[in-house]
A and B are shown apart, each in its own frame.
Chain A
Amino acid sequence: VTAPPARPIGHRIDQILLLAAKILMAAGLAIRLVGATGVADGVIAAGLVALMATPLVRLVSTMVDHLRRRDWLTLAASLGVTAVLVWSILTALR
């Protein structure tokens, strides 16, 4: 069985989110340098959250791709990884 090649499903969303995260962080740093620390920290935090969402988007798009291909083993592995990430987020929120 040949391993499936990477498909750019969700790739654009992932890349747009990554770009948005970097723009938010750059804007936040610029605002901070001007002196508006409170606003800047909010903008930077939004950028960091967007950044942390990018691997999740990539993972979900991969899951959709494997569901479409009926590659059950890889889909099960993706679900396992998602469960670990959810556990991590819940641990952080506690």
Chain B
Amino acid sequence: VSDTLPILLVMGMGMAAGGLGALLGLGGGVFLVPLLTGVLDLPVQKAAGISLMTVIAASGTVTGGTAGSGVVNLRLGMLLLVFASIGGLTGGITAQHLTERTLTLIFAVTTAVVALVTVSRLDQVNVIEATSGEPNRFGGRFFEPKRGYDVVYRVQRLPLALAVSLVAGNVSGLLGLGGGILQVPALTAWCGVPIRVAAATSAFLIGVTALASAPIYYAHGDVMPYLAAAAVLGVTVGARIGLRWSPHLAPRQLKVLLAATLVAVSALMFARLL
């Protein structure tokens, strides 16, 4: 009976994090970790371990929905994944040696930086899409159902995308986030990848990236099994609700909501340092 309350609480937090994550095109980890540390007073390592499991589940669910649609760019994704998985592995190992305070500080700074970048690019359109021409080596072509035609895109600044993937993987391993929070904005803002492709490819990447550090957390006892299970089930339900709502919000509204939420998350983590 003593387990009932924590299980229900974590399931509820998972639903909230998964719903908000799906609404904003992210994994729920960036919202789940602060909730677990703030409400249940779990150490960041344990919250990150639980969060990594939800990232794997969310990745599987979203990838299942987009497989075969042509929006996942596997050639680009696999190359990014080499760097993201190395980042994930090193992040997972490093996290075991960092103090709670350092991890909280890294979390607070990361969310603050992403919020600033989001706000600074609120009205910018960065991707030039065409209906004709050939994509380059890592570019692609996909059918856009809302417009009724094929969209062609060319990937630019590949070294930058690889560097961001390494950092995103490292953040994933250190803090239990998916890494999509860094990858999707970078791919769309600087590398010419359309948002649909960036989000779908990132969803594929984050599951494998999380797996690069999840076994290390599991072996260190940082994945509390019953809370992880509750979180995974909660995130699954929440993500389905969020996905239903997301088409009703305009991109600008989504960006404002994302920035506001990240500022709140960052403030919460900074407050834990005081």
Contact = CB atoms under 8 A, between A and B. Distances in A.
Contact of B7 (A4, A21, A33, A56): A33
Nearest to A75: B78
A21 to B, nearest CB: 8
Contacts of A78: 78
Interface string B108-151: 00000000000000000000000000111111111000000000
Interface in A36-58: 40-41, 44-45, 47-48, 51-52, 54-56, 58
Given A29-B233, A80-B82, A92-B218, A55 B56 contact: yes
Nearest to B86: A84
A22 B232 contact: yes
Contacts of A44: 225-226, 228-229
Contacts of A4: 74-75
B3 to A, nearest CB: 6
Contacts of A7: 67-68
Q: Which of A4, A41, A48 has the most CB of B within 10 A?
A: A48
Interface string B31-71: 00000000000000000000001001101110110111111
Q: Which of B69, B78, B140, B226 has the most CB of A within 10 A?
A: B78
B68 A2 contact: no
A92 B219 contact: yes
B233 A26 contact: yes
A2 B136 CA distance: 7
Given A3-B135, A78-B78, A93 B57 contact: no
A67 to B, nearest CB: 13
A34 to B, nearest CB: 10
Contacts of A47: 229
Interface residues on A, range: 35 or more
A64 interface: no
A55 B27 CA distance: 15
Given A11-B68, A48-B53, A25 B214 contact: no
Contacts of A92: 215-216, 218-219
B258 interface: no
A41 B59 CA distance: 24
Nearest to B55: A55
A1 B4 CA distance: 55
A54 to B, nearest CB: 5
Given A77-B82, A85-B85, 12 more contacts: A3-B75, A6-B71, A6-B72, A11-B68, A14-B64, A48-B229, A55-B56, A55-B207, A58-B208, A65-B74, A81-B78, A88-B211
Enumerate the 4 nearest inter-chain pairs by beta-carbon distance, A residue then B residue, closest first: A25-B229, A3-B140, A92-B215, A5-B70
18 contacts: A2-B141, A6-B74, A11-B68, A14-B63, A15-B60, A21-B57, A25-B232, A25-B233, A33-B4, A41-B225, A54-B56, A65-B74, A66-B74, A66-B78, A71-B75, A81-B82, A88-B211, A91-B89
